[in-house]
Amino acid sequence: MNVIQPNCRVQFNAEDIAFVLEVLAKNGGAPSLTALLTDPETRDLILDSDALFHALLEKCACLRVSSHFYFYVLVRRVLRQAGIEDRSVADYVAEMLAEFSRAGRATLLAPGRPAPLDYFFDMLAALQTADDGAAFCLRAHIGNLSLFHSGVFPDRIRLRTERHAAPDLRYYEQLGRANFHAASGHRLARRYDLAAIFDTLSTRFTKIRLALNDLAERVFSLGDPDMPLSPLFKPGAP
């Protein structure tokens, strides 16, 4: 079980940099390549650019950028609008979306279990017998998956609730908050420098979920959490 890290900004590729230079050149504010690559503070200010955000939203053709770049710029904007300024939180949420956007990445393989854990019921049951490290990973995954589904596919959750008496958005919020809170106090959260991020995801889960709902309304129209978001990007984009 892998632990997601807030590292979108260190995974940008040459095409991401080219996109930044092209967009900002058109707006009369092209940065130097050196500033983009070597100065984190300058890079972060550039990534907050209105021009980049609107270029990603308005581009109709398949984008020649990485999923890490795409999600970071968009998530950073909607979280700032929600009053969440911590870049590491935006970086983490963006990396989670980038990871889960690829088919099969939202499933969980737990030690000692032959089949993937696809349902919250199974994950919560696995917590009862998990060792310390596996329990941390399970709680982080449950929090991530709760945020992913309730943030990107709220209408699908509402529809299932109406038609099948399935868990509603409140259930996802409670599950996400509780598991991020538990994960934030774990020793591994401190080792991975995730304690403060998980604490924010727990205490401000609803605000973050609503910010992702706003983003989903603008750019995601797939309607099915089993369908990857990767068609937004050029073939082979990481």
The dihedral sign for the CA sequence 147, 149, 152, 155: negative
Residue 31's pLDDT band (cuts 50, 70, 90): low
Q: Under a CB-based contact definition with an 8 Å cutoff, are residues 120 and 175 in contact?
A: yes
Q: What DSSP state is assigned to residue 104? A: T
Higher per-residue confidence, 219 vs 226: 219
Q: pLDDT tens across 57-66, in order?
A: 887 567 889 9
Average pLDDT for residues 149-153, to the nearest whole number?
93
pLDDT at 211: 97
Higher per-residue confidence, 231 vs 24: 24
pLDDT at 235: 39
Q: pLDDT tens across 181-198, in order?
A: 999 999 999 999 999 999
Task: Give a yes or no: residue 185 inside a domain.
Answer: yes
Cα(27)–Cα(23) distance, rounded to whole angstroms? 7
Task: DSSP for 187-233, please give it.
Answer: HHHHHTT-HHHHHHHHHTHHHHHHHHHHHHHHH-----TTS-SGGGB
Task: Give a yes or no: residue 149 inside a domain.
Answer: yes
Higher per-residue confidence, 34 vs 72: 72
Task: Give a yes or no: residue 1 inside a domain.
Answer: no
pLDDT at 231: 40
The dihedral sign for the CA sequence 97, 99, 105, 107: negative
Share the mean pLDDT of the chain.
84
Q: pLDDT tens across 163-182, in order?
A: 888 889 999 999 999 999 99
pLDDT at 224: 43
By residue range, what is the domain housing residue 116? 8-232
Rounded to 10 degrees, the C-alpha dihedral 65/68/69/75 comes to 130
pTM of the model: 0.87
pLDDT at 4: 93
Neighbours of 235 (CB within 10 A): 7
Q: Crossing angle, helix 195-203 and helix 87-100, to 10 degrees? A: 80
Q: pLDDT tens across 44-101, in order?
A: 988 999 999 999 988 756 788 999 999 999 999 999 999 999 999 999 999 999 998 8
Q: Report residue 43 CA to chain centroid gap.
A: 20
* HSE-up (13 A, CA, CB side) for residue 35: 13
Structural domain total, the chain: 1
pLDDT at 118: 74
Cα(140)–Cα(5) distance, rounded to whole angstroms? 11
* HSE-up (13 A, CA, CB side) for residue 140: 27
Q: pLDDT tens across 200-215, in order?
A: 999 999 999 999 999 9
pLDDT at 226: 45
Task: Give a yes or no: residue 237 inside a domain.
Answer: no
| Nearest C-alpha neighbor of 142 from the set 162, 158, 125 | 125
81 DSSP β-pair partners:
none
Task: Give a yes or no: residue 3 inside a domain.
Answer: no
Terminal CA-CA length for the chain: 20
Size (the chain), residues:
238
Cα(138)–Cα(127) distance, rounded to whole angstroms? 7
Task: Give a yes or no: residue 238 inside a domain.
Answer: no
pLDDT at 107: 64
**Phi/psi at 83 (5° precision):** 90, 15
